[in-house]
Amino acid sequence: MNLSYDPSKPFAASREATESWWLGMPLGAVPERAILTLALDIPTADFLALLGDAHLLPSTTEYHVITGSYAGTPVVVVYHGSGPLSISVAIEELARLGVKTIVRAGNSGGLSTAVAVGDTVVVTAAVRAERMLLDYVPLEFPAVSAHSLVTSLAQSATLHASGTVHEGFVVSVATFYPGSGMPTAIGVINHEQVDRLRLWQHLGALCIDAETSTVLVLASLFGMHGGAILGIGNHLETGAGAHLTRTDSLARPALHAITRIEPPQTARTPSPKR
């Protein structure tokens, strides 16, 4: 048996390249602007009510896609599963489809005492505690929001979001319970994680989630504008809250912001093969 071995050669996909693998969106004619969220955070009814000519595409996967327009500008909304792995697949396929601007809109847990349940956070950067993106880049690669999106989201949130609007950085973790410093089914296993979260709290992190760092890193890698607007649905320090209660107050400012800025004119091109 002769097996060729080329460590620099990627593996081939087995699916015909007529549509995106997981999102099920046909190639071509895809809006350049996309919002990513979870059904637990923002019900599909919120976006269906806000978008003109809205269509919920049929799906056989964990992903659900809504196409439509806001203020006359085409937009696609992608519902994904929880965590960095699920949202990374969505962003990878959106980049291949030609999307140039992405915004995460969803829930987060309050970490700083400066934020309260019901407030809104416009993310400027994220701590890469999720560690999953090591498949892409080293941990030192920064997770920073596009400046134009921070400005647009902050202005839109002031008009349409609930509570006090904050700008600051979020800690993005890999798991829900231990990553957030909460006991697992058998209690606290990793006390060092609790200590790390206390450190980030001391250093000024406003909130914690599991997806924002992935959005910001992959957007930067793929030559896209990336940003995030997060609601404080619960607070880790006080124990207040559970889930987002004013979900429309995230959907509307996300749509307003993403349709007011121009997408980047050029996408990142692959580096020459070494």
The percentage of residues in the chain with a pLDDT greater than 70, rounded to a whole number, is 92
- Report pLDDT digits (tens) over 127-141: 999 988 999 999 999
User: Token pair for residue 179?
Assistant: 């990553």
In a domain, 124, yes or no: yes
In a domain, 16, yes or no: no
What integer pLDDT is reported at residue 273 of this predicted model? 47
What's the pTM?
A: 0.92
Please state the domain count of the chain.
1
Q: Is residue 95 assigned to a domain?
A: yes
Q: Does residue 7 lie in a domain region?
A: no
Residues 241-270, mean pLDDT to the nearest whole number: 83
Strand partners, 229: 105, 122
Mean pLDDT, the chain, whole residue set? 91
Domain that holds residue 240: 33-258
pLDDT higher than threshold 60 for residue 83: yes
User: What's the pLDDT tens digit per position in 180-233?
Assistant: 888 999 999 999 999 999 999 999 999 999 999 999 999 999 999 999 999 999
Partners of 216 in beta bridges: none
Rounded Cα–Cα distance for residues 243 and 231 (Å): 9
**What pLDDT, on the 0 to 100 scale, is given for residue 97?**
94
Q: What's the distance, CA 260 to chain centroid?
A: 19
The Cα–Cα gap between 224 and 265 comes to 9
Could you tell me if residue 22 is inside a domain?
no
Q: What is the DSSP letter of 237?
A: T
Closest to 89 in 3D by CA, of 211, 186, 177: 211
Instruction: Residue 153: name the closest of 120, 128, 126 by CA.
Output: 120
Tell me the C-alpha distance between 255 and 14, whole Å: 35
Q: What is the pLDDT of residue 245?
A: 80
In which band, very low, low, confident or very high, does the pLDDT at 9 lie, cut at 50, 70 and 90? confident
**Residue 248 is assigned to a structural domain of this protein:** yes
pLDDT higher than threshold 70 for residue 266: no
Question: What residue has token string 């020459």?
Answer: 272
Q: What confidence category does residue 247 fall into, taking pLDDT thresholds of 50, 70 and 90?
A: confident
Confidence (pLDDT) at 17: 56
Residue 8: inside a domain, yes or no? no
Confidence of residue 274 (pLDDT cuts 50, 70, 90): very low
pLDDT confidence of residue 18: 59
| Strand spans (E) along the chain | 33-37, 52-56, 64-70, 73-79, 101-110, 120-128, 165-172, 207-209, 225-235
pLDDT (average), residues 142-160: 97
Going by C-beta distance under 8 Å and a sequence separation of 6 or more, which residues neighbour residue 193? Answer: 178, 179, 181
Q: Is residue 178 part of a domain?
A: yes
173 near 136, Cβ under 8 Å?
Answer: no
For 192, the 3-state DSSP assignment is helix
Give the CA-trace dihedral at 149, 153, 155, 161, to 10 degrees: 180
Q: Is the pLDDT of residue 270 over 60?
A: no
Q: At 87, which helix (H) or strand (E)?
A: helix 84-97
Q: How many CB atoms lie within 10 A of CB 192?
A: 8
What CATH number corresponds to the domain at position 84? Answer: 3.40.50.1580
Q: What is the pLDDT of residue 12?
A: 65
